[in-house]
Amino acid sequence: MSYLLTGHRSVIPTQLLHESKSPSIGGLLCAPDKFLLHFPPFMPPAIHPVDLLHVLRHQRLTPAIVFLTSRRACDEAIACFEHRQNPIPPTRSAAITDVLDKMTAEYPSIANHPLIPTVQHYGVAAHHAGHLPSWKIAVEELMRQGCLDAVFATTTLAAGVDFPARTVVITQSSVRKDRDITELTVNEIQQLAGRGGRRGKDYVGFVVVTPSPYIDLGPIANGLTNHPEPIDSQFVVSYPMVLNLLKAHSIDHIQPILEKSFAQFQLNQRADAYETKLDDVETQLETYGQRECADWIAQWQSFSLAKKRRSHHRRKTQHDPPEISAQLAFLTPGRAVELSKDHAIVLRQYRSRGQGAPMLTVMRNGGRIIEYPASAVTAVIDEVIDVTESHRFPWCTPQSLNHAIETLEQFPARLRRLPIRVNQDGADNPVLTETLKDEFPCPTCPSRPACQKDHPQALKLRQEEHRLTKTIHAMRTELWHRFQQHVEVLQKFGYLTPACQLTSEGDWARLIRINHSLLITELIRMGAFEGITASLLAGVLASIAHDDDRPASFPGRHPALTSTLGQVRKVAHSLSAYEEPPLLRWDVAAIADRWIAEPALPWNELIRPTTMAEGDVYRLLARTLEYLSQVHGLKATHPGLAGVARDAMDLMRRDVLQELP
């Protein structure tokens, strides 16, 4: 259906262009190979590679670099060209053959590359990390000679594509990075687009955008026209860095060295911005002028805190309205009071259990004993009768109750009310303030009103000041702290003395300057590599070096390798607090192991049983070589192990791995 819609003449489904990475289909992410054979029916169409090249040729936009989403997409795009009708003219084919022959003389591994017929007949090639470096060099050379019309490459390798073309074709605005789909940054899009237009060979270069499931025009247009993003330092402190710095410098000189880093430079710039803010805050604080005490904000703060704490202690009295608390002193047992309608005699004053509100138990006419909140009292009468209190209901002795009932009945209608002075300016409890006088100068201080007024704002500023100071300090010393953390770990493991000098162990350990250095040096120290064979050593180092979790398989498992890797995994796990453990995949270990264990094994035989791309296997072995050479660097202290590493390197460097330095 998609072909009908798009008016395609092609028979091959257009979806071939794209390896499906639709996040909605979980299975595709795990095992793309299995699912891709069924063309997912929900993929939108994209232009067919053959049609694309046709248009580009027709508009004289070749040679072109076509950036696709995945290696598979590149390979499939090339596969589309096989058995097509119109090959390139024979003279051009001959030119390609010439160049390829020349390259083959230098790099024999190109000779039988399966893509050669397509390249010769149609003038197109694929160029991605799954290929051997020699093939990539050949494609680049062909491109430089102007023999090719199009190269299909992956976006991820944009930095490694070092050849220009007239046209760059962009088919996507997002890429998959670490199992996540992210949009291309401005830097990345300009890196892609930058390959368009060859100096001296073109008047103009072109960027051709063609839609695919992974495209949105906005980010691309933005990337083509906008300013690139600024870059930030990615400085990390590593164990080899610490050891090497401490070898050459004493610990006292380290801090100035760290301060020379771009990381610190950028941190300083940010810190400077904060400093300006801090200055601003400090000027604002200065506007409050001099007060009686040196640090009035802190003084007032502790004073008001103390007030609060004390008042908390006496919460019950504090929360009463002033007129009630003024009354309370008079509402003692035996006091006559006026309620809304008539008079009553107070028998008891207490606090309610829940809210702590002041409550009264009163006796009203006819001896009714009723409980009221203190606020029910409308007036206090200047009359107290003798009441003997008791602890239980009715809160006084029966005799005095009788006496009270009698007195109440004899009360005239009007009685003299007691005038009660209410302390209106009672924001501060005068009693409380009085008690704090000994501890704080504030209650009697002349600048007290000013302090009280300014304090909330000033306190905010002071807190901001503290926060900024702290942040600035953290920025200035962050790297140094990270360095010290690493120093502590190295001291714990005995690579450094307490005085931060290298121990004899540290002296050789600093030569291992690769990822997972702590794991490797610990393995060497605990003798895990004693009596190891060259192939096994290469296998272990390969599994430490390989950090790609692209699925692969290799039928080469044998017990020695499995048990050694098991040990390494245990050690790596025990070190996981100090160093991120490597993946330690046994399949990649088995590949390196087999390549060395069978010195007569040809490259093709090594590649055949694995699902890994040969470019990946090449990179794996090249990285293993690097790790081996680091181990070989320990020849002064570990001659035996270094010798094994040397053997492994010699055995490894053959066939394809011999071709390039």
Partner 1 sequence: MTNDELTQHLAGLPVSLLHRLAKNRVHRHFRMGKTRLIQSLLALSPGQRAEIETTLTSFLQEPPRSSKPDRPAKPNPQPDAPPRPAPPSRHHHVPTEPAIGTKALLEGLGVPPPRPFKPDDWQRDAIDRLTTTDVILSVPTGSGKTYVAIEAMRRAIEAERTVIYTSPLKALSNTKLTEFSQLFGADQVGILTGDRRDNPQAPILIMTTEILRNLLYDAASGEIDMRLDTLGLIILDESQFLADAERGVVWEETIIFAPAQSRLLLLSASIGNPDEIAAWINSIRSTSCHLIHHRNRSVPLRAAYLDPSGKLAPFFRARDIAHGKGFVLHPETKRLFANYEDRTLGPRYRR
Closest approach, Cβ 230 to partner 1, in A, equals 4
- Does 230 engage in binding with partner 1 (CB under 8 A)? yes
Angle between helices 239-248 and 448-492 (to 10 degrees): 90
Closest approach, Cβ 69 to partner 1, in A, equals 16
**Gap between the terminal Cα atoms of the chain:** 51
Considering the complex, state which of residue 266 and residue 304 has its C-beta at the smaller distance from partner 1: 266
- Does 539 engage in binding with partner 1 (CB under 8 A)? no
> What backbone torsions phi and psi does residue 182 show, to the nearest 5 degrees?
-120, 155
Cβ atoms of 167 and 67 closer than 8 Å: no
Considering the complex, state which of residue 2 and residue 301 has its C-beta at the smaller distance from partner 1: 2
Stretch that binds partner 1, among 192-200, 378-386, 537-545, 573-581 (CB under 8 A): 192-200
Q: Which residues from 338-357 bind partner 1, rule CB under 8 A?
A: none
Closest approach, Cβ 504 to partner 1, in A, equals 15
Give the per-residue SS3 of 563-623.
HHHHHHHHHHHHCCCCCCCCCCCHHHHHHHHHHHHCCCCCHHHHHCCCCCCHHHHHHHHHH
Binding mask 90-129 for partner 1 (x = CB under 8 A): ----------------------------------------
| DSSP letter string, 398-452 | HHHHHHHHHHHHH--S--PBPP----TTTTS-HHHHHHHTTT-SGGG-TTHHHHH
Q: Which residues from 607-626 bind partner 1, rule CB under 8 A?
A: 622, 625-626
Query: 358-364 and 343-351 as β-strands: parallel, antiparallel, unpaired?
Result: antiparallel
Q: Which residues pair with 351 in a beta bridge?
A: 358
Between CA 37 and CA 55 the distance in angstroms is 28
> Residue from 39, 235, 330, 372 that binds partner 1 (CB under 8 A)?
235
> Residue from 93, 97, 104, 190 that binds partner 1 (CB under 8 A)?
190
Tell me which residue has tokens 């508009």: 59
Query: 379-384 and 150-154 as β-strands: parallel, antiparallel, unpaired?
Result: unpaired
> Residue from 96, 125, 207, 408 that binds partner 1 (CB under 8 A)?
207
Binding mask 474-513 for partner 1 (x = CB under 8 A): ------------------------------------x--x
Closest approach, Cβ 276 to partner 1, in A, equals 17
Q: Which residues from 28-47 bind partner 1, rule CB under 8 A?
A: 41-47
> Residue from 12, 28, 79, 208 that binds partner 1 (CB under 8 A)?
208
> Residue from 175, 263, 523, 536 that binds partner 1 (CB under 8 A)?
263
The tally of CA atoms less than 13 A away on the side-chain side of residue 553 is 3
| DSSP letter string, 322-376 | HHHHHHHTT--TTEEEE-SSSEEEEEEEEE-TTT--EEEEEEEGGGEEEEEEGGG
Q: Which residues from 8-27 bind partner 1, rule CB under 8 A?
A: 8, 14, 24
Cβ atoms of 23 and 17 closer than 8 Å: no
CA 394, 400, 403, 409 torsion-angle sign: negative
Nearest-Å Rg of the Cα atoms of the chain is 43
- Does 59 engage in binding with partner 1 (CB under 8 A)? yes
Considering the complex, state which of residue 180 and residue 232 has its C-beta at the smaller distance from partner 1: 232
Between CA 19 and CA 71 the distance in angstroms is 9
> Residue from 31, 248, 298, 422 that binds partner 1 (CB under 8 A)?
248
> Residue from 38, 179, 199, 608 that binds partner 1 (CB under 8 A)?
199
Tell me which residue has tokens 């397509």: 118
For residue 291, the 8-state DSSP code is -
| DSSP letter string, 143-171 | HHTT--SEEEEEGGGGGG----BSEEEE-
Binding mask 127-146 for partner 1 (x = CB under 8 A): ------x--xx--x------
Between CA 517 and CA 96 the distance in angstroms is 46
Considering the complex, state which of residue 187 and residue 302 has its C-beta at the smaller distance from partner 1: 187
Instruction: Number of residues interacting with partner 1: please give it, by CB under 8 A.
Output: 99
- Does 62 engage in binding with partner 1 (CB under 8 A)? no
Closest approach, Cβ 269 to partner 1, in A, equals 8
Closest approach, Cβ 226 to partner 1, in A, equals 7
- Does 224 engage in binding with partner 1 (CB under 8 A)? yes
> Residue from 37, 231, 499, 577 that binds partner 1 (CB under 8 A)?
231
> Residue from 32, 87, 108, 194 that binds partner 1 (CB under 8 A)?
194
Stretch that binds partner 1, among 29-37, 71-79, 257-265, 361-369 (CB under 8 A): 257-265
| DSSP letter string, 375-406 | GG--EEEEEE----B-SSTTSB-HHHHHHHHH
> Residue from 49, 123, 196, 506 that binds partner 1 (CB under 8 A)?
196
Considering the complex, state which of residue 219 and residue 358 has its C-beta at the smaller distance from partner 1: 219
Closest approach, Cβ 227 to partner 1, in A, equals 5
> Residue from 93, 104, 255, 261 that binds partner 1 (CB under 8 A)?
261
Q: Which residues from 145-174 bind partner 1, rule CB under 8 A?
A: 159-160, 162, 164, 166, 169
> Residue from 30, 105, 236, 370 that binds partner 1 (CB under 8 A)?
236
Q: Which residues from 621-650 bind partner 1, rule CB under 8 A?
A: 622, 625-626, 628-630, 632, 649
> Residue from 266, 304, 471, 484 that binds partner 1 (CB under 8 A)?
266
Closest approach, Cβ 152 to partner 1, in A, equals 15
Structure tokens at 256: 């100035």
Task: Using alpha carbons, list the distances in angstroms from residue 509 to 165, 495, 504, 577, 582.
Answer: 47, 8, 9, 19, 19
Amino acid occupying residue 512? I
> Residue from 16, 52, 110, 540 that binds partner 1 (CB under 8 A)?
52
Between CA 377 and CA 380 the distance in angstroms is 7
What are the residues whose beta carbons fall under 8 Å from the beta carbon of 20, sequence distance 6 or more?
28, 32, 35, 36, 40, 43
